[in-house]
Amino acid sequence: MTTVNEDTPFALEDDQYHNLSDDLHETETNWWSLNVPERGMGAWIHAAYFPNRQSVRARVFVWDPRGAEPNRLAYYFNSGEVPMPPNPDLRDITFPNGGYSLKMLKPAMDYHVVHHDPEQDFEIEFEHRSVHPPHRFTPGEAPAMHNPHFDQLGHIVGRMKLFGETIPIDCYSVRDRTWGPRGAHHSISQKPEYVRREFRVAQPGGPKWRQVERERGRGRIQYIFGHTGAETGFLSFVRPQDGDAAGWSPMNMGWLLKDGRFTRLDKSKSRMRNFRDPKTGWSAHMQVYLEDREGRSMEAEGFAISHISENGSGSNALMRWEYEGKIGWGEDQDGWRGDHFTKMLRALRAV
């Protein structure tokens, strides 16, 4: 049996759904992101397939400065968990109950995505042309501890029909794929102190809200990326629970894209510092320092332009980044459990 490590390439079969275990929490996803910077607009297209429940949930949404909650978004679609037709082929599929269509154009690289919603007079259609093979994240590293996961930067060209207007799409953004168990043991720590709701902080001190953010065993995930074409940018998962009292959090997986070349980050040196809006609790401003395993480095500063908060706690934000004398665009995905976010927000708002 071949041991899978961070350099193991993905196979052409990974464009298809996989044969997984009989765990009811088995989940296989495909996700596409894009942006329209001049409109302050971000968009997601996402499907989660639950093979042992023979069901799927597809979501498509567009956000901009007009509002962050689902009922105030520029566009929001959620099929709910619905039955999946037998023998689905992810290389050429239309998800049920009004979901989007996906077709592979070039294995592991190029794809066509389209979604029509006549009831809301909405359409989106684009091609994602990847600029590199899928980058595998290191097995055994959080958050992809047990699940194969990759991210892939692409050039996205297409159009969107929104409120009767046709909006062109031409950007660089990311897609990803993950398969494996989610929920139950996957997302809930079984350590006795966490079962007792005792959330240790590795490095106490600093502002109270930052200390709350660093509580361990909370399932916190923060994922940031930004790119300027196929030449410059970065992507990484952030570990707030391993951060220090001054607010700097290490970045444990990801890439530095510089001079058109992707390299893996040095997780002992790459870090991010986040500043939050005291009204919403959402990310507002970030400082990022990146260094790769070759010693190449880059500093980036980002500002949140617009948000979506699908569940009322953390948010996904469209981010405007500056680095290397360039402007790039991407996202901050700031994931929280509801009670943890509420505790942090109360500390941030305290008078």
Q: Which is more confidently placed, 21 or 194?
A: 21
pTM of the model: 0.94
> Residue 218 has what pLDDT?
87
pLDDT tens per residue across span 302-341 = 999 999 999 999 999 999 999 999 999 999 999 999 999 9
Position 191 pLDDT exceeds 70 = no
The residue type found at 30 is N
Cβ(169)–Cβ(127) below 8 Å: no
pLDDT tens per residue across span 93-148 = 999 999 999 999 999 999 999 999 999 999 999 999 999 999 888 776 766 666 88
Residue 36 phi, psi (nearest 5): -125, 90
The residue type found at 52 is N
Of 84-98, 127-141, 188-202, 291-305, give the lowest mean pLDDT range: 188-202
pLDDT tens per residue across span 144-161 = 666 888 999 999 999 999
The residue ranges of every structural domain in the chain are: 25-181, 189-349
Residues 6+ apart with CB under 8 A from 105: 111, 112, 127
pLDDT tens per residue across span 5-51 = 888 888 999 999 999 889 999 999 999 999 999 999 999 999 999 99
**CA dist 31 → 19, 113, 151, 316 (Å):** 19, 11, 10, 14
- Partner residues linked to 271 by β-bridges: 250, 289
Q: Which of 48, 116, 125 is closest to 77 using CA atoms?
A: 116
Query: 8: phi > 0 → left, psi -120 to 50 → alpha, else beta; which?
Result: beta
The CATH architecture to which 25-181 belongs is Beta Barrel (2.40)
Cis peptide before 107 (omega within 30 of 0): no
Write a three-state SS string for the chain. Answer: CCCCCCCCCCCHHHHCCCCCCCCCCEEEEEEEEEEEHHHCEEEEEEEEEECCCCEEEEEEEEEECCECCHHHCCEEEECCCEECCCCCCCCEEECCCCCCEEEEEECCCEEEEEEEEHHHCEEEEEEEEECCCCEECCCCCCCCCCCCEEEEEEEEEEEEEECCEEEEEEEEEEEEEEEEECCHHHCCCCCHHHHCCCCCECCCCCCHHHHHHCECCCCCEEEEEEEECCCEEEEEEECHHHCCCCCEEEEEEEEEEECCEEEEECCCCCEEEEEECCCCCCEEEEEEEEEECCCCEEEEEEEEEEEECCCCCCCEEEEEEEECCEEEEEEEEEECCHHHHHHHHHHHHCC
> Residue 181 has what pLDDT?
83
**CA dist 165 → 60, 124, 161, 309, 339 (Å):** 18, 12, 5, 25, 40
Position 193 pLDDT exceeds 70 = no
Q: How confident is the model at residue 2 (pLDDT cuts 50, 70, 90)?
A: low
> Residue 197 has what pLDDT?
65
Give, in degrees to the nearest 5, the angle at Cα 271 between 234 and 300: 45
pLDDT tens per residue across span 258-294 = 999 999 999 999 999 999 999 999 999 999 999 999 9
Calculate the average pLDDT of the chain: 93
Cβ(171)–Cβ(183) below 8 Å: no
d(CA 59, CA 321): 27
- What is the CATH topology of the domain spanning 189-349? AttH-like fold (2.40.370)
Position 238 pLDDT exceeds 80 = yes
Please state the separation of Cα 215 from the chain's center in Å: 21
Reading the block at residue 137, the tokens are: 């994240």
> Residue 186 has what pLDDT?
45
